Amino acid sequence: MAFAARSNVRRRLRLGVAGAVVLTALTTATARASVPPVEAPAAGPTRPASSTGTTGTGASSPPNRTSTRVEARPAPGFLLERGRFKPVAIPRGLEDLAPQGIAPVNINDSGQIVGTYEDPAGAAHGFRLDRGRFTKIDVPGAKGTQPQGNDNRGQIVGKYSDTSGNVSAEGVPVRGFLLDRGRYVRLDFPGALSSQAFDINDRGQVVGEYKDAAGDFHGYVWQRGRFRSIEAGSAIAINNRGQITGTGLESDGTFRGFLLDRGRVTTFTVPGAQVTVPYGINDQGQIVGISVSSPTATTGSGFLRDARGRITAINRPGAAVTVAFDINNRGQIVGVAPIADATPSP
């Protein structure tokens, strides 16, 4: 993707925010993976420069195989805890629901995970995974549903489409939703052409973005039925302290992350990256996301930014792309890092 047409870049950025192209990464993991938020093939992981270097959250290349046995491809979704990657897979017996695997997008402090998957027909569905128990999430009457955030009270937010099962396709109108104790509440920013909800905290504050009548995108905060617009960029995640993180487009074509705290906006980029997209933030101010060296790059890396601004790369061994979507207060990180099919080695 080039910067020749900035309006197109901006539109494609929004389509990729908060996992919009995760399903593409899942379905093309063997050959290529789309890197949120840019639409580009991925060939292998890169590590952005970091003031602290890659620690236990990073990864080196996978060890050489000495066996000729072909191993099964690991689940694309992962849980990273104490420097160890653990696969997040759909429970046995339900594999036919999600042939390409499931994408964990958010995790609360109880370890409940919400995310999305694509069915054999290509339609998006949501799920909640709680201690091995898998529950489908579909907005009634919708053709496609994608949960994107959950809090410690069990509330879930996301987006859905009435017109297409592919909720991330360009031009498909989407709406936001809040799922609270089995009841779906529609979250439509007043006067917007489309809108979606990205995250929710324990105070019931929801963040998201909307597209206005002129085709421009804005962030928002919703609480108790009232919307408030945010001009810093797309509001992607919010913690219980009310700190909001997201991404925006600079005049030089750089996609930078931002932290909005009590009215003060701090911007940041991963060193060496032209695209920095935060996806999650916990109460300690730790932020996770993805960085890409340039919009035309074919590689991408996850990152962890601590409250002091220090950045550490996150890369799953053997993965083409590592996307870190959320971090809870226990330091558990969920994301997607598709690993290519194993091939026999001599």
Q: Domain containing 210 — which CATH number? A: 2.120.10.30
Residue 65 resides in a domain: no
User: Is residue 207 within 8 Å of residue 244, measured between CB atoms?
Assistant: yes
Per-residue pLDDT of the chain (346 residues; tens, 9 = 90+): 222 233 333 443 443 433 333 333 443 332 233 334 333 323 322 223 333 333 333 333 333 333 333 345 678 999 999 999 999 999 999 999 999 999 999 999 999 999 999 999 999 999 999 999 999 999 999 999 999 999 999 999 999 999 999 999 988 999 999 999 999 999 999 999 999 999 999 999 999 999 999 999 999 999 999 999 998 999 999 999 999 999 998 888 889 999 999 999 999 999 999 999 999 999 999 999 999 998 877 779 999 999 999 999 999 999 989 999 999 999 999 999 998 764 444 4
pLDDT at 113: 98
Q: 3-state SS string over the chain?
A: CCCCCHHHHHHHHHHHCCCCCHHHHHHCCCCCCCECCECCCCCCCCCCCCCCCCCCCCCCCCCCCCCCCCCCCCCCEEEEECCEEEEECCCCCCHHHCCCCEEEEEECCCCCEEEEEECCCCCEEEEEEECCEEEEECCCCCCEEEEEEECCCCCEEEEEECCCCCCCCCCCCCEEEEEECCEEEEECCCCCCEEEEEEECCCCCEEEEEECCCCCEEEEEEECCEEEEECCCEEEEECCCCCEEEEEECCCCCEEEEEEECCEEEEECCCCCCEEEEEEECCCCCEEEEEECCCCCCCEEEEEECCCCCEEEECCCCECECEEEEECCCCCEEEECCECCCCCCC
User: Does residue 1 lie in a domain region?
Assistant: no
Strand partners, 148: none
pLDDT at 343: 47
Confidence at residue 21, expressed as pLDDT on a 0 to 100 scale: 35
| Distance from chain centroid for Cα 30 | 20
**From CA 11, how far away is CA 121, in angstroms rounded?**
26
d(Cα 102, Cα 338) in Å, to the nearest integer?
A: 11
**Gap between the Cα atoms of 209 and 176, Å rounded:** 9
Residue 248 within any structural domain of the chain: yes
State whether the Cα torsion 311-317-319-323 is positive or negative: negative
* pTM of model > 0.75: yes
Number of structural domains (the chain) is 1
In a domain, 64, yes or no: no
66 falls within a domain: no
Contact in structure between 159 and 196 (CB atoms under 8 Å): yes
Query: Residue 250 has what pLDDT?
Result: 87
**φ, ψ dihedrals at 13, nearest 5°:** -60, -45
Token output for 10: 């901006």
What pLDDT does residue 249 have?
87
Give residue 341's pLDDT: 62
Compute the distance between CA of residue 287 and CA of residue 312 in angstroms, rounded to an integer.
11
Does residue 29 fall inside a structural domain?
A: yes
Whether the bond between 278 and the residue before it is cis, its omega within 30 degrees of 0, is no
Residue 346 included in any domain: no
Contact between 149 and 197 under an 8 Å Cβ cutoff? The reply is yes
Distance CA 49, CA 223 (A): 38
Structural domain including 153 reads 6-59+72-336
Residue 123 belongs to some domain of the structure: yes
